[in-house]
Structure 1
């Protein structure tokens, strides 16, 4: 049976697992965003479903913090349920390549109808302000209805359907700004319509199973449809309906879908809005505008929000897990042995601070690992720091990592630099080190015990693993060890 990507099935599962909290009365104007931002920084935090939002009918809801814990993310990915990110990274290794290879076997299946058609609003009555789009942060240029969204487009000269996550700002009752940055698949498709002088058809899925926006926000190969990729993860095809104006496919169980066109030359000022690293990198700029000409939505619709902010933010955990698995596989593919763990830290937006732990086997092993990790395809874009630690250090534990840096490295001998590496205008440091060709530098920190002194390096002063387990079994119920 095809899967309609119904968000409410997932919400029911999270309620049962006590991984969802309903909050009533939070204001769309900054309060909802601040609560979500503060929530995601707490250990063991739940997903948040906001209801009774002032100024809107009860049942017009906003959902946040969906992918920000190992339990919820493993549920979304249909993985073995776990509360441990290391287990999730290990499960995920090799999966993207497998899903890509199987995607062609799962084309979406068209169905006649679905819950998304419970309400259909035609052009004359469209009013996007009927939905409680949040103003997430004080510095934002406007209200953003699309953060945890999926934007459906079609190639001009082929049948390739792309589904990407691009931010969507509300301009007025019938127009939204769509920020598709250069090089992204949606922007490539859009430019073909611009060159042909024709309107660009768009459908924006504002709410669905979180797997929808999770996958539309990663690097799926050019020419591959994300509905196929999602089908491979689910092991069953996605059930889609087609927009009545554009013919574009979207999930039959979607919460809200905006359908319309970007007309040639139609732009307005959009932003500013935060980036994944936690800064307002750019101010307001001209961005393409979509004229919303039809809206489909379910009764008591839910906006899925996933706004960027200073990490950890709403979606930084999911990026960290998925990129860590890809980096682990990249190290092994490059022939680096003895890799015990990899973690792309949320504090660096899962790009700018990466740690690998290894079991050292030979002189130069740590340096080899660090340089490969810094420059492999998955990590090359907008990297900054790479740290390599011994296998007794948890690469995801910043206290342990920085302890190793402080006690097992020497600044003169153990830090290598790479200049003129791949940079980006989205790097907040680009304002200080401007270059025409957006270069940046890298630091590789070898925080492993010196290989030629492994045997005589001072031993660690701590309880053995065996003793810790014995103590936890006897005293853990009293001290929450």
Structure 2
């Protein structure tokens, strides 16, 4: 049986059928949950355009209990996930996303999540003594991890107690109490953490649900900064062009994607914490030591028959979702910057080497004195960019912001350190920053003006390179040499 058309895919299994038919999926059998799945995945991420990997026959577990990694690890699969087509390459993906985030933000209100009575995720419901997260092949991803992490490609749902608007975040979840619970590590500035704190003040506990296997689209929206006040479920609906179906948790009433593979429901309590970590994080280091983190009181586990755990382990870039984050954050930041009214924005890129957060480049056509630094400073503090970035570089429009070679060439030839590097202090950092030594999670960030000095635009030395038109003609005449 062939795969369903792209526009009809509504769950992870349909997505897998399509990417499998397109040769984008490889099966791996017999890899163990203890480091082997993680090591194979890590080696795969380092390949050019890595395939998705579906692990089965994990020793100690029945065949059919599977783990997926590298779901959004190349342009083609990310394009499929975002329903942009089945043949996206890097350039087409970037082009298609130029107005995507703005369109999806504006369209979210027209695609509210739809509550249904049941769905595939409710095929099996476990309560009480039947709750055991280790009945699924949860990996220990890195050798230095403090335990087995079931939540890496997850979507954790909280709700604003004032508005009822749900939020989805991709927060790491470590299995605790021999599989009976899981800690949820939420950074304090995230929307989910704000919801939890408000629930604690009002009710003394906070409701939460988490989907642990699903259409990778939910990983994309949970793992990037969807604008505040917009439900990630509605945003995903705008991407799909139709509502996302959800069931309501029987205990909390919070949403659970109806076609999810595995989901948990329960409560967080301010005085219920357990040691968590360390964990190999997206910075490429093990974050912190062992710290007390909120432990979820799991009241129900929902899952399909033969469920698939969606793994998205971070690590030293490139890692599972670094490509996806770079592409999505670049598009979101560019859309937000354009919306501020800054003219002349040619492109924005959030580099994968910085985990899609720490190194941002904005290319502009300068129109007035101070234009370059205005664009850089605004970029540094946009809500979509403010968390954990450290370097923001402004370059002229003739520089490709996606090319580290071109960007650093501009820094070396157009930036005078004494004049063109400024530092912002006490900005929004993170507990996972390897430079953090305790205390509040501040950081600093450098703004580098690598644009030609505005007063010298007319007289600045001309770049010594062939024109794009000439290069294109040469490639047409000598394709065997130039490709």
TM norm. shorter chain > 0.5: yes
Against the structure 1 CA distance between its residues 100 and 407, is the aligned structure 2 distance closer, same or farther, given a 3 Å change threshold?
Answer: closer
- Match of residue 183 from structure 1: 189
Residue 36 of structure 1 deviates from its aligned partner by: 1.6
C-alpha separation in 2, matches of 1:220 and 1:376: 12
Answer whether contact 2:81 2:216 (CA < 8 A) is retained.
yes
For residue 77 of structure 2, what is the aligned residue in structure 1?
72
Deviations along 1:48-91, whole A, 9 cap, x unmatched? Answer: 11112122111111111112222211211122455443433343
Does residue 124 of structure 2 align to residue 119 of structure 1?
yes
1:262-301 Cα deviation digits (max 9, x unpaired): 3552211011123332223321111111233322212221
Q: Please report how far the alpha carbon of residue 43 of structure 1 lies from its aligned counterpart in structure 2 after TM superposition.
A: 1.5
Q: Verify the 8 A CA contact 1:174 1:293 in the aligned structure 2.
A: no
- Preserved contact between residue 26 and residue 51 of structure 2 (Cα < 8 Å): yes
Give 1:136's aligned residue: 141
The correspondence for 2:449, drawn from 437, 445, 450, is 445
Distance across 2 between alignment mates of 1:247 and 1:181 = 24
Partner of residue 472, structure 1? 475
Q: Which runs of 5+ in 1 are unaligned?
A: none
Q: Which deviations, in whole Å up to 9, do the C-alpha atoms of 1:390-436 show, x marking residues without a partner?
A: 333321111222233334444344x221342514243736437x886
- Alignment correspondent of 2:277: 271
Give RMSD over aligned pairs: 2.9
Is 1:389 aligned to residue 390 of structure 2? no
The change in CA–CA distance for 1:154 and 1:333 in structure 2 (over 3 A counts) is closer
TM-score of the superposed pair, with normalisation by structure 2: 0.88
Matched, 1:405 2:405: no
Is 1:457 aligned with 2:442?
A: no
Residue 102 of structure 1: aligned partner? 107
User: Aligned partners of 1:459 and 1:193: how far apart in 2?
Assistant: 58
Residue of structure 2 in register with 1:174 after alignment: 180
Query: Any conservation in 2 of the 1:197–1:264 contact (CA below 8 Å)?
Result: no
Report the secondary structure of 1:73's partner residue.
helix
The TM-score, its normalising length taken from structure 1, stands at 0.89
How big is the shift at 1:10? 0.9
Deviates more, 1:350-359 or 1:339-348: 350-359
**Alignment check: 8 A CA contact 1:82 1:88 kept:** no
**Partner-residue secondary structure (3-state), 1:116:** helix
Change (3 A) 1:420 1:203: closer
Matched, 1:147 2:147: no
1:27 to 20, 29, 32: 32
- Kindly indicate whether the alpha-carbon contact (under 8 Å) linking 2:281 and 2:432 is maintained by their aligned counterparts in 1: no
The answer to whether the 8 A contact 1:4-1:238 is kept is no
TM alignment of 1:297-308, pairs within 5 A: 297-308=303-314
Counterparts of 1:304-323 in structure 2, within 5 Å, are 304-323=310-329
CA distance in 2, matches of 1:357, 1:140: 39
